[in-house]
Amino acid sequence: MRVTLIFVLFAVSAAAAQVQPMPLPRKMVVGSGALAIDSTFAAASHDCADPRMGAALRRLHARVARQTGLPVVGGKTTLTVACRTVGATYPALGEDESYRLDVSAEGARLTAETGVGALRGLETFTQLIVPGPRGFQIANIHIEDQPRFPWRGLMMDVSRHWMPVGVVERNLEAMAAVKMNVFHWHLSDDQGFRVESKRYPKLQQLGSDGNFYTQDEVRHVVAHAAELGIRVIPEFDMPGHTTAWFAGYPELASALGPYAIERTWGIFKPTMDPSREETYTFLDGLLGEMTALFPDPCFHIGGDEVDDTQWKQSESVQAFAKQHGIANSHELQAYFNRRLQALLKKYGKTIVGWDEVLDGNTASPLDSSTIIQSWRGPASLAEAARHGYRGLLSSGFYLDHLKPASFHYAVDPLSAEPGAKPLDDQEAARILGGEACMWSEYVSPETVDSRIWPRAAAVAERLWSGREVRDVASMYTRLTAVSRVLDTLGVQHRANYAPMLDRLAGDRPADPLRVLADAVEALGIEGRRDTRKYTSMAPLNRLVDAARPESESVYRLEMDVRKLVSTHSISGESPADLTELRTMLSEWAANESLLAPLADNFLVAEFMPVSRNLSAVGAMGLRALEYLQTGQTAPPDWLNRQTEALGKMAQPSTEVSLAAVRPVKLLLEALAGRRTEGASHK
């Protein structure tokens, strides 16, 4: 009986092993057999009148061709698509995104309530294509799927570093691939005002270094996003983070200018003057123009990190506050927000704001339609929901911190702060979802994709899949699979790695650099901001910029070591995992002598200490492996010295951390554990 059960589980998991969709569908049953995907592949949507479907199927054919390398010429309808209702072509919040997918050896059928549901199902379909024993195939499968949250966003800051239209377009494709449905476009900040205004042209003329989107480009991006089932929410951050506006229109500020575009990061003093009617006249004109460009009913007013120095120092602002019974700067910002809300209401817009917009909100609160985006923590999100506001979580989803995917994956929009009262059902229903945020202090068009993907896919899964979907190892397996899919879409999260390393190596072969770069992880904003003087003019061309936030190869080694240690197979025969481990440790140990000749290059010289540490870690790992394999006991003082040295080498240097220490630490722990085990038997 026991043997049979194990056999069945093995058979199912072997079939399912190749099925790695991300986000994980709500319900998925993998059968035996498969549908062949070959050059005759074609999809038809006679039963779906959604106007987006023609373009969606053309994209699908191109995708299948790119993913498989097959010349897809069509001829046999392999997939049929049906949807019951034709939704609006611009996607709406809360639209039915459910779909059902049935694949058998005879063909595949995708059914959805709406066109947008069909779009989501097509993404799942392409993720299921794998090379099988006789060709490309999709396993026989039944899927029923729908999202947990209706708002699954990605915010991109295009102000601190300019991101051309192409960057935005390819990231929209990536978002669609993981079923994200809101692109939050952070269009203005101290470092740049990035949209063409015809009414106030000095905004982009003097506030963008010439790097802005024309109105035609904005319309194009919005239309492209809508085709993919993605809403576009513009953010014009006010009343702080507005220095770039004042370069052209200093009269909007609360203190005399002149002003120039900021080149550094932080919270700056220039702040809009909330006391002058002219400010609102200007904003009425600008918002009238901008709301016409963006069809979404939501409009983001920012509202974060307001420095009130200018307000406090301005006699006219203080006199205004007194006259209106405004007690402090929070209330003054609340007054400004309400004025903005009234203007935007006129243009049919609901406002979204960072959680600071609720500070000082009690006397005359914002309209209950307001959506609060929490970046400061789950408490402010819960507070918003308790006050009747809808909310989005971004705290814990900041991609610029370069935390591992597992960190973001563990964050849940509905988990309360420790000790806090959980939300009741009505309050919980106000949490619409969340957004991964890509702030752009330390990214360029060349590196930004690698800071978003694939980690944002873990956030996408958190927001789409059921709350109980929490298996981290499964998530990483599927993250690697989806990363390959994103590659075929033209996302540059992997594509730019090798060219960046080649550039670092100059005229020498980059192989040893690649060994090092694979074994380190780039630090995020917290680890970079105090290490050197960064400005928007600083080149982002160093090891830290090429290195990834999370090392895939080190993660694999960690898994290998855990498996070896837990199965006690390390001192037995030499399995494949052990071979991979020994090969990698040897490569690390030898790398220093290969990299050293490149150290006359200034870009390489700075991280030679990290290179030396990598080789030391490799040598240490080989020695530990030898102890484990031969069953010898490591001398306690050797073990202590290695552990201490490893701890030092784990400290960041030149804005990267040496991920390679992790699997070796596991080996040392296994050795220490064996010593303790031995001792306890005595």
Catalytic residues: 305
Q: Min. distance of Cβ 150 from ligand ACM in angstroms?
A: 22
Q: Where are the alpha helices (DSSP H) in 314-366?
A: 315-323, 329-346
CB proximity list for 121: less than 8 A, separation 6 or greater: 81, 99, 100, 101, 110, 112, 143, 145
Toward ligand ACM, which CB reaches closer, 235 or 461?
Answer: 235
Contact 205, 244 (CB under 8 A): no
Report the amino acid identity of residue 248: G
State which residue, 254 or 374, has the beta carbon closest to ligand ACM: 374
In 3D space, the residue among 21, 252, 233 whose CA is nearest the CA of residue 139 turns out to be 21
Give 259 or 375: the residue with its C-beta nearer to ligand ACM.
Answer: 375
Nearer to ligand ACM, 151 or 354 (CB): 354
Stretch (H or E) spanning 378? helix 378-386
| Residue 561 CB, nearest approach to ligand ACM (Å) | 37
CB of 237 to ligand ACM, least distance (A): 8
In the region spanning residues 67 to 86, those forming contacts with ligand ACM, defined by CB under 6 A, are: none
Alpha carbon 53 to its chain centroid, in Å, reads: 27
Could you tell me the end-to-end alpha-carbon distance of the chain, in angstroms, rounded to an integer? 39
Q: Does 354 bind ligand ACM (CB under 6 A)?
A: yes
In this structure, the chain runs to a length of 682
Q: Which of residues 123-142 bind ligand ACM (CB under 6 A)?
A: none
Distances (CA, A) of 132 to 34, 36, 235, 265, 484: 9, 9, 46, 50, 17
Instruction: Give the separation between CA 579 and CA 569, rounded to whole angstroms.
Output: 13
**Cβ(462)–Cβ(180) under 8 Å?**
no
Report, in Å, the least distance between residue 305 CB and ligand ACM: 5
The distance of closest approach from Cβ of residue 241 to ligand ACM in the complex, given in angstroms and rounded to an integer, is 8
Closer to ligand ACM by Cβ: residue 120 or 160? 160
Among 149, 268, 375, 397, binds ligand ACM (CB under 6 A): 375
CB of 613 to ligand ACM, least distance (A): 33
**Cβ neighbour number for residue 81 with a 10 Å cutoff:** 28
Q: Between residues 140 and 188, which has the closer beta carbon with respect to ligand ACM? A: 188
Q: How far is the CB of 302 from ligand ACM (least distance, A)?
A: 8
Q: Give the number of C-alpha atoms closer than 13 A to the C-alpha of residue 291, restricted to the C-beta side.
A: 22
Min. distance of Cβ 403 from ligand ACM in angstroms? 15
User: Which long-range contacts link 128-136 to residues 24+ away (Cβ below 8 Å)?
Assistant: 128/19, 128/21, 128/103, 129/37, 129/64, 129/67, 129/68, 130/18, 130/19, 131/68, 132/18, 132/34, 134/36, 135/36, 135/37, 135/38, 136/36, 136/37, 136/38, 136/68, 136/70
- In the complex with ligand ACM, the residue whose CB is nearer, 305 or 552, is 305
* Strand-strand pairing, 182-189 and 192-193: antiparallel
Q: Collect contacts of 643-651 with beta carbons under 8 A, ≥24 apart.
A: 643/668, 643/672, 645/616, 645/620, 646/617, 646/620, 649/613, 649/616, 649/617
Complete DSSP assignment for 515-572: HHHHHEEE--HHHHTTTS---TTS---SHHHHS-SS-HHHHHHHHHHHHHHHHTGGGS
Q: How many residues bind ligand ACM (CB under 6 A)?
A: 4
Contacts with ligand ACM in 623-652 (CB under 6 A)?
A: none
Name, in order, each residue with C-beta under 8 angstroms of 472's C-beta and a sequence gap of 6 or more: 406, 409
Query: Which of these, 237, 243, 240, lies nearest to 373 by C-alpha position?
Result: 237
Phi, psi (degrees; rounded to nearest 5) at 518? -65, -25
Q: Which is nearer to ligand ACM, 536 or 551 (CB)?
A: 536
Instruction: Supply the minimum distance, in Å, between the C-beta of residue 149 and ligand ACM.
Output: 20
Q: How far is CA 297 from CA 200, 293, 352, 370, in A?
A: 23, 11, 10, 11
Q: For the segment 294-353, give every residue that binds ligand ACM (CB under 6 A).
A: 304-305
For 347, the 3-state DSSP assignment is coil
Tell me which residues touch ligand ACM (CB under 6 A).
304-305, 354, 375
